[in-house]
Structure 1
Amino acid sequence: MPCVMVELPPLSLYIHIPWCVQKCPYCDFNSHALKGEVPHEEYVRHLLADLDNDVALTAGREVSTIFIGGGTPSLLSSEAMQLLLDGVRARLPLATDAEITMEANPGTVEADRFSGYQRAGVNRISIGVQSFSPQKLQRLGRIHGPEEAIRAAHLAAGLGLRSFNLDLMHGLPDQSLAEALDDLKQAIALNPPHLSWYQLTIEPNTLFGSRPPVLPDDDSLWDIFEQGDALLRAAGYQQYETSAYAKPGYRCEHNLNYWRFGDYLGVGCGAHGKLTQPDGTILRTVKTRHPRGFMAGNYQEKQFAVADHDKPFEYFMNRFRLLEAMPRDEFSRYTGLPVAIIRPQIDCALEKGYITESEQSWQITEQGKLFLNSLLELFLSEEE
């Protein structure tokens, strides 16, 4: 297969903090209920050692965004956060205007630490609100109430951060259309620059997976989405990704880099990385999931190169989540493969009305958004 010159895409850094106060019944992320105190500084030392092992894979590139996710990163003390971000800055060139996001829960303790995190360099906070209904929050296993969520949002707004995000769910157990829209109206009233509004899905290996609650049916979910989407647009939010809305100029740069098939270094328990090498190889890294193993110094679980026949699916699986047009030449630049090899699939997608094509770009249609899985299946490799 002829190879095309690969361009090294922008680089992000993802840092995973694995602990939560308690595990939520819908959550299938790598998070562990906290027993005792967070080993703040000890874990940060392991994160930086993990980073040391991977620095060589970044080809000296500048990091444009950092995302500290979890778990509940806001369980980490502001001193530990300072130590962590100072350590990152000492090891990697960081863009002067780098977006540095941290996920936080609206619990009282964490909200009071926001200004300490800001001093450490965090300039964007993502607050996991999920709902403003006390009953729904209890059903979701959340340990905060609506008042704390509102307080946290006001606090984030008052800090003069670059941006903040509220995470909100819909399609909750026994949720009516009116309840879903009321949640959304309360979120909009807090005027976050960015709103992640996503549907609850039942994942295997979760408490909800083993004892599924009754969720709204497809017709109700469609009504919630359609009317909620109209509310968001009317309030000045633009949808730019399947479940992300932002005011103009406030899209999440870190997530945009994921969806544009950018590179990211993943450090911490269970973190995933994708790193394009100067020779065009795309490496995937996976870190040890459990804190015990990770903190014993066994950071890497596996590292492997993405096979050429898997690259089209991996590229489009990310790219088609974005509603923006994608440059046609980017496929070759980021995968090293000629466009000719995906021509039959592109023609099929065009015929089904899933995408449109111009000389410069491809773009997903409304039909394509509705049938995203069918669209992506076109690019699945037959080879195993």
Structure 2
Amino acid sequence: MPNLPPLSLYLHIPWCVQKCPYCDFNSHALKGEVPHQDYVDHLLADLSHDLPLTSGRAGNTLFIGCGAHGKLTQPDGTVLRTVKTRHPRGYMQGNYLAKRYPVAPADLPFEYFMNRFRLLEAAPRAEFIAFTGLAETTVRPALDQALAVGYISESDSHWQVTDKGKLFLNSLLELFM
């Protein structure tokens, strides 16, 4: 057998707040409690079934992820953005993470709305404050612009992307940059 590199394994955590319209991962909108043990039991069964297919090759890397987003919120509220290596050679050399840096407070509104508005469901206004630590007044000018052009609607409790906002989602998100 040729001298093949070690195997790597990517485990996808398949439960999301809502399935993104563009996602092609085997993922599911969360309904109720996450079935942790059932997932682990099925995962171990799958791995046991596939083990003979490895031809004795060792594995040296385990990736655990939940989609395309390279963002992690730390216990202290700091949001870290990660950037992966883009060239396959980097992965073969074990350089999977190109860089990691904290998201600047000024960028938190964009990060929040990018994640919230792409779900196309109502975004609770109180959640913005809880997730970013910022007052709604920091984004009021952008919200007013989005309302004026018809990208969103607003109630006392939430913001909702309109049909026009769905068509111009990038333009809507640019208002928060």
- Give the alignment's TM-score, normalised by structure 1: 0.32
* Equivalence for 1:120: 46
The alpha-carbon deviation at position 344 of structure 1 amounts to 1.6
Indicate whether 1:280 and 2:77 are aligned.
yes
Whole-angstrom CA distance in 1 between matches of 2:104 and 2:14: 27
* Equivalence for 1:308: 105
Counterparts in 2 of 1:319 and 1:117: CA distance versus 1, 3 Å: same
Counterparts in 2 of 1:266 and 1:273: CA distance versus 1, 3 Å: farther
Counterparts in 2 of 1:297 and 1:329: CA distance versus 1, 3 Å: same
The alpha-carbon deviation at position 346 of structure 1 amounts to 1.1
SS of the aligned residue for 2:36 comes to strand
1:20-69 per-position Cα deviation (integer Å, ceiling 9, x unaligned): xxxxxxxxxxxxxxxx9975xx122xx58xx9xxxxxxxxxxx95379xx
Q: How does 1:1-384 map to 2 (within 5 A)?
A: 39=5, 42-44=6-8, 65=14, 95-96=36-37, 98=39, 119-120=45-46, 266=65, 273-380=70-177
Counterparts in 2 of 1:66 and 1:361: CA distance versus 1, 3 Å: closer
The alpha-carbon deviation at position 339 of structure 1 amounts to 1.5
The answer to whether the 8 A contact 2:85-2:98 is kept is yes
Whole-angstrom CA distance in 2 between matches of 1:273 and 1:365: 27
* Equivalence for 1:248: none
Counterparts in 2 of 1:38 and 1:322: CA distance versus 1, 3 Å: farther
Q: Which amino acid aligns with 1:329?
A: A
Q: Which amino acid aligns with 1:325?
A: A
- Please, what is the CA RMSD of the aligned residues? 3.7
The answer to whether the 8 A contact 1:43-1:295 is kept is no
Counterparts in 2 of 1:365 and 1:306: CA distance versus 1, 3 Å: same
Whole-angstrom CA distance in 1 between matches of 2:170 and 2:123: 18
Paired residues in the alignment total: 141
Whole-angstrom CA distance in 2 between matches of 1:373 and 1:363: 15
- Give the alignment's TM-score, normalised by structure 2: 0.63
The alpha-carbon deviation at position 272 of structure 1 amounts to 5.6
Counterparts in 2 of 1:276 and 1:358: CA distance versus 1, 3 Å: same
Whole-angstrom CA distance in 2 between matches of 1:274 and 1:289: 17
Counterparts in 2 of 1:38 and 1:290: CA distance versus 1, 3 Å: farther
Whole-angstrom CA distance in 2 between matches of 1:306 and 1:274: 9
